[in-house]
Chains A and B, each alone.
Chain A
Amino acid sequence: MRIKSTLENYLFVTPAVLIFSIFYIIPFIFVFRLGFYDWDGIVPLKDAVFVGLANFKEILFHDPSWWQAMRNASWITLIALTFQNALAFLLALACDREIRMKNFYRVVFFIPPVLSEIVVGMVWRFIINDIDGANMINRLLLQIGLPQLAHSWLSDPKLALNTVAIVHSWKGFGWGFLIFLAGLQTIPRELYEAARVDGAGAWHSFRKITFPMMVPVMVLVGILTVLGTMQAFVLIIGLVGGEFAGHTSVPVLRILACMRDSSRFGYACAQGISFGAILVIISFIQYRFSKERQLKKI
């Protein structure tokens, strides 16, 4: 009887476990194994050549395009951590007070995150690109008399990465905004009241009340931003079309290119493993760093 009941219970989780094993666990193991092989995707898999650590050595020492991609992704992440999150925080602060249109802003600010990266990329490309786009920003600059500020935002290789970072921030600030706002709203109003009665100004209550209580939220948003932005790539496909001679290359794009264009499946897996390891280490460091800060505060 007991056994029958237990077997019935297993049936509940069977579909989930089955799908998970096939589509997560097996690929996980597979990626780890294939990283040590050289395989072009054409010859049968059993004929793949074992190359040991050669792929990883190549990534570390002989692949400048990989490190350029990492630098680019880090830059975009840096902009996201600073510009995007600062913007989100300021907007959340502004909306935290009792203002009339709070719900309206909440709805509107989350529209960019809800759109797909391809749509965002293609629409912005159309708006700002000078070669096959309407070139709106430059036209506007010309009209208000500032032609010297007009640049080729997307077709100038030196500017393209920054343009990508800004569009990425445009798409992403809505998340930080919502999370910051939720965090701000958990701060008891009485604290602010008490501070005001004691004669504290706005800046003072921000420093002593708001900021310390928001630190865990800021850390969370920070970790999420880093993990998410380092792996971003679809937006670049929509906005720029690809790697732009390496100038807008990011790690996941490189992996995709190695798989589809260079037909180097083993190498692509090795890149995936290396990148995953780096991300795990970064998250871990961020987490430990924040834990230490939290302990210090207490």
Chain B
Amino acid sequence: MKTAIYYKAKKNTINILIHLFLLTVAVTCIFPLLWMVSSSLKSQDVIFRDTSFLPRVFHFENYYRAWVEGGFGRYFLNSIFYTAAVVIGIVIVASLAAYAFSRLKFPGKNVLFIMFIAAMMIPIPGSFVALYVLLNKLHLRDTPVGYILAMINVGLSSSIFLLKTFFDKMPTELEDAARIDGCSKLGIWWHVALPLAKPVLAVVVVFNALSVWNEYVLALIIFDSRRFMPLQVAIKLFQGEFVTNYPLLMAGLTITVLPIIIVYLLMQKYIVKGVTAGAVYG
């Protein structure tokens, strides 16, 4: 019947329009990154004139130059070190605390927990001013330790909250069994709670790793020495320091972005879980 065809055609057109809409937005999401990579393979004299997507000549040596001459090798290792150290630190400190808040009894437990939650909700803009002065007094400015400790604090509240929520829901039989077997509290934490918490820990790890790798302002006010700087601060300094070699800059940006993209694509489902878990809580 005519009406049936009409409805089918209408449905198909709407579908096509919707797909077009989605595809356009998707392209704008990916295009800048592709352009960045394509520009990183061009040479300095053609980079503003050659507007083709694929460079005519592939200058892979830009990456080598960025890594060695530009110093990005050093900054990359710094970022990796800070990310690993902070993530490990948060996992240990937060899970210990979360386990205690969930399973152990001690006076003041609720007050302390509320303190952490309150910190998550109350923003202190400009707290970096105080951190700057404090770290300076402790002689921890321009040191990796100072940065790592400050960054552990940044991710602490939300990680504790996530883990405590999980531990609260964890069934107690395994812990009871372990206790009967004579396991100490720390042992239960290590042998029972943590393994069970792996999925939540994955979320904690991924989110904190992203946040440390992408962090800028604390690194800016804490570090003066080039050899300690992580990628984000270093690459901003790179621009405008000497004659800006744009292909090298693009190569540096690609180096900065690549690990994130890889981790993101691999751990994508944990990220989605984390975001929606946060939303459900709200």
Find out whether A and B make contact in their complex, taking CB atoms under 8 A apart as touching. yes
Which residue numbers of A lie inside 8 Å of B, CB to CB?
A: 6, 8-10, 12-13, 15-17, 19-20, 22-24, 26-28, 30-31, 34, 41, 45, 87, 90-91, 94-95, 99, 101, 104-112, 114-120, 122-124, 126-127, 132, 134-136, 139, 170, 174-175, 178-179, 182-183, 217, 220, 224, 227, 231, 233-234, 237-238, 241, 251-252, 255-256, 259-260, 265, 268-269, 271-273, 275-276, 279-280
Q: Give the distance in Å from the alpha carbon of A15 to the alpha carbon of B100 in the complex.
A: 12
Q: Give the distance in Å from the alpha carbon of A239 to the alpha carbon of B85 in the complex.
A: 30
Closest to B239 in A: A122
Indicate if the CB atoms of B131 and A13 lie closer than 8 Å.
no
Q: Give the distance in Å from the alpha carbon of A136 to the alpha carbon of B31 in the complex.
A: 12
Indicate if the CB atoms of B150 and A23 lie closer than 8 Å.
yes
Indicate if the CB atoms of A20 and B100 lie closer than 8 Å.
no
Q: What 0/1 pattern do residues 129 to 156 of B give for CB contact below 8 A with A?
A: 1111110000000000000011011001
Indicate if the CB atoms of A105 and B130 lie closer than 8 Å.
no
* Residue from the list A24, A260, A276 in contact with B119, Cβ < 8 A: A24
Indicate if the CB atoms of B124 and A16 lie closer than 8 Å.
no
Closest to A125 in B: B239
B121 CB, min distance to chain A CBs, angstroms = 8
Indicate if the CB atoms of B51 and A136 lie closer than 8 Å.
yes
* Residue from the list A9, A259, A272 in contact with B106, Cβ < 8 A: A9
Indicate if the CB atoms of A20 and B210 lie closer than 8 Å.
no
B223 CB, min distance to chain A CBs, angstroms = 13
Indicate if the CB atoms of A19 and B156 lie closer than 8 Å.
yes
Q: Give the distance in Å from the alpha carbon of A41 to the alpha carbon of B89 in the complex.
A: 31
The interface residues of chain B lying within 8 Å CB-to-CB of A111 are: 29-30, 33, 261, 264
The interface residues of chain B lying within 8 Å CB-to-CB of A139 are: 51
Q: Give the distance in Å from the alpha carbon of A115 to the alpha carbon of B231 in the complex.
A: 13
Indicate if the CB atoms of A234 and B156 lie closer than 8 Å.
no
* Residue from the list A22, A87, A276 in contact with B25, Cβ < 8 A: A87
B123 CB, min distance to chain A CBs, angstroms = 6
Q: List 7 A-B contacts (CB under 8 A).
A: A27-B124, A34-B130, A90-B21, A108-B29, A122-B239, A178-B272, A275-B126
The interface residues of chain A lying within 8 Å CB-to-CB of B185 are: 8-9, 12
Instruction: Please give the number of chain B residues whose Cβ is less than 8 angstroms from any Cβ of chain A in the complex.
Output: 87
Partner-contacting stretch, out of B57-65, B66-74, B175-183, B242-250: B242-250
Q: Give the distance in Å from the alpha carbon of A255 to the alpha carbon of B217 in the complex.
A: 12
SS of A interface (majority): helix
The interface residues of chain B lying within 8 Å CB-to-CB of A119 are: 214, 232, 235, 253, 256-257
Within 8 A of A (CB), among B1-53: 15, 18-19, 21-22, 25-26, 28-30, 32-33, 35-36, 39, 47-48, 51
Q: Give the distance in Å from the alpha carbon of A268 to the alpha carbon of B128 in the complex.
A: 10
Within 8 A of A (CB), among B106-135: 106-107, 112, 115-116, 119, 122-134
Q: Give the distance in Å from the alpha carbon of A6 to the alpha carbon of B100 in the complex.
A: 11
Given contacts A108-B26, A126-B246, A179-B275, contact A255 B129 (CB under 8 A): yes
Indicate if the CB atoms of B123 and A279 lie closer than 8 Å.
yes
Indicate if the CB atoms of B132 and A259 lie closer than 8 Å.
yes
Q: What 0/1 pattern do residues 184 to 219 of B give for CB contact below 8 A with A?
A: 010001000000000000000000001001111100
Q: Give the distance in Å from the alpha carbon of A273 to the alpha carbon of B96 in the complex.
A: 33
A226 CB, min distance to chain B CBs, angstroms = 11
Q: Give the distance in Å from the alpha carbon of A4 to the alpha carbon of B256 in the complex.
A: 49
A117 CB, min distance to chain B CBs, angstroms = 7
* Residue from the list B94, B125, B126, B134 in contact with A26, Cβ < 8 A: B134
Given contact pairs A116-B214, A238-B236, a sample of 10 additional A-B residue pairs in the complex whose CB atoms are under 8 Å apart:
A12-B96, A13-B96, A13-B101, A20-B156, A26-B134, A116-B213, A126-B39, A134-B48, A136-B51, A224-B282
